[in-house]
Chains A and B, each alone.
Chain A
């Protein structure tokens, strides 16, 4: 079964520093998508970055980048120049064919604290 594992329940980083959040997943599919979503106290899930499994190039969005290792089934998120507004719960998510249907499955989340 497809599962997503985030092994870091909590992380903290000094403002302006760099932090990396880990995510591993398990799947037997070759075609799927991976995402990092951010959920601040406002509760809305906000897309941070996405990666198509068929693309070898790592996705980047401004200060956010991923290290996608398909063979290792690893998908980590790097946040550069951390800002106070980056404080939130971060969820790694997998979207692919699960039990015959396209589903989005989330990891347990990592709570990121930014220290001023």
Chain B
């Protein structure tokens, strides 16, 4: 299994809603990432988890709350988002022995 699986693929939410994005991998990778990608732009790093501990937070607003409940699962909890938060959210994972990160297909988020 060489996949990073993200659910849902598409999400539309109101500004007062609470929702969660899910990312799962079964490759034994102990580093997991959340990226945000706006249209026609490169991915921007949001969070890094290493061995289930948050190691990097790129000054992301608190309305985004990451969680890593176990070594295979990474969540991104969303609350009180703004329309400008609409974007593609990409999850990635990597093992220390690998040089490259493996990416999921992303969740296309629209905030209305």
Partner of B104, one of A33, A35, A44, A104: A44
B99 in contact with A52 (CB, 8 Å): yes
Known contacts A52-B99, A104-B45, A108-B42; decide if A44 and B55 are in contact (CB<8 Å).
Answer: no
Which residues of chain B are near A47, meaning CB under 8 Å? 100, 102
Compute how far the CA of A34 lies from the CA of B16 in the bound complex, rounded to whole angstroms. Answer: 41
Q: How far is the CB of B65 from chain A (nearest CB, A)?
A: 20
A106 in contact with B105 (CB, 8 Å): no
Partner of B105, one of A35, A42, A101: A42
By beta carbon, the residue of chain B nearest A92 is B42
Query: How many residues from B make CB contacts under 8 Å with A?
Result: 21
Give the interface size class of chain A. Answer: 20 to 34
Interface residues in chain B, defined as those with a beta carbon under 8 Å from any beta carbon in chain A: 33, 40-43, 45, 48, 55-56, 88, 90, 92, 99-106, 108
* Pairs across A and B, CB under 8 Å, 29 listed: A33-B99, A33-B100, A35-B100, A37-B103, A43-B88, A43-B105, A44-B103, A44-B104, A44-B105, A46-B103, A50-B99, A50-B100, A91-B43, A95-B99, A101-B48, A101-B55, A101-B56, A103-B45, A103-B48, A103-B56, A104-B33, A104-B92, A104-B101, A106-B42, A106-B43, A107-B42, A109-B40, A109-B41, A109-B42
